[in-house]
Amino acid sequence: MDFNNFNNNNGPDRENFQDIGKKAADIKAKAAKSAKSLVFLLLIIVLLLSVKSFVYIVAEDEVAVVSVLGDIKKVIVDTENDLAIGQNDIDSRFSNVEIVNKKGLFFKIPFITTVNKNTSKLITYKSNSANIVTQDKIKYKVALYAQWEISHPGLFKTSLGTISKANAVIDEVVYAVIIEKINTLSSDTFLTDKNRVMDELEKSKLQLNTELAAKGIVLRDIEIYRTILPDSNIESTHQKMIAERQAVAQKTRSEGKELYRTTVARTDREVKEIESAAIEEAEMIRGSADAEALEIYANAYSADPEFYEFYKSLESYKTSFDENTTIYLDKNNPYLKYFNNGN
């Protein structure tokens, strides 16, 4: 056997084995590098999880209850919330609970501290339609809505727990109070006097907030958003509304006529007063002018009596005679002396 030929013929195979070994080494190196990266990533995840277990965040639209081993130690509420402190006194379990009016990042002890969060936004409650009766025994169907929020998350957690249960409690107490208020109003007031209705709803809200304070919630608004008249009362109410509109129209017409009469009388009186003042002023001016004229005449007469007599005679001739006037006087009559050329 020619071993030289064997060695020469297997030269390329040896090179192939060397390439394979090199590639295997590269793969092992890359695997080791990937393993290190994976371990590093796992360490980062574990570290983040560890950090997260030491902190918690309360967002601006949230409130929170912080408990240690099941006991409530702190409640976190809105900055402007001034009700929570007073509500602490309602339940003796909360006498030592801290009220925090600040949101953001907080630290906690892992495993023994739990944080329960709820929304701090206004929550809307809408009722189903229900019958009410006014003071004058007119029936209506009304539907209400209310805007409420969690004022003390600790009381809310222990007494209600969920928003749906809170809405159920509101549904129970709101109608009783609202119906009681509406029962004192006449149907006319209920339908037309919105200010009075709003006043009654505001009173109801204050009363309800006193009752709901122990639940850790507060009503911010109550409105009647739908009023439906039963079919049996539609015609009578329609006629009543027509009569009311006619009464308002008649009152407006009467007030208009009265205003017209008053305006005309005042205008006539003012016209008479203006005319009287004008006549009085004219008479005063005329009297003053006559007096001044007489004074001028008197001065003129005293200065030249003969000329004054001549002037007055001419004035008299001018007003007494015309082309159709015939007068019979003695030629020696003094009135004609200026027609006689002085003879």
Q: Which residue has the tokens 């976190």?
A: 76
Query: How does pLDDT run across 53-81, given as a tens digit for each residue?
Result: 788 888 888 999 999 888 888 999 988 88
Q: Are 117 and 156 in contact (CB under 8 A)?
A: no
Mean per-residue pLDDT of the chain: 80
H or E element, residue 71: strand 71-76
**pLDDT above 80 for 238:** no
Report helix, strand or coil for 55: strand
Window from 206-210, 224-228, 306-310 with minimum mean pLDDT:
306-310
Tell me, what amino acid is at 181?
K
Query: Are 197 and 131 in a shared domain?
Result: yes
Nearest alpha carbon to residue 229 among 132, 331, 317 = 132
pLDDT digits (tens, 9 = 90+) for 242-301: 888 888 899 899 999 999 999 999 999 999 999 999 998 898 998 888 888 888 877 777
Full residue range of the structural domain in which residue 258 is found: 234-302
DSSP string, 158-177: HHT-SHHHHHHHHHHHHHHH
For residue 63, give the H/E element and its range. strand 62-68
Q: 228 and 239: one domain?
A: no
Residue 343 has pLDDT above 60, yes or no: no
Helix (H) or strand (E) run with residue 141 in it: strand 139-150
Same domain, 269 and 227: no
The number of residues in the chain equals 343
pLDDT of residue 5: 47
pLDDT at 166: 92
Q: What residues pair up with 67 in beta bridges, in sequence order?
A: 72, 114
Which of the residue ranges 149-163, 179-193, 259-273 would you say has the lowest mean pLDDT?
A: 179-193
- What's residue 1's pLDDT? 46
User: Do residue 213 and residue 138 come from a single domain?
Assistant: yes
State how many domains the chain has: 5
pLDDT exceeds 80 at position 235: no
pLDDT band at residue 149 under the 50/70/90 scheme: very high
Closest Cα to residue 169, out of 115, 203, 197, 127? 127
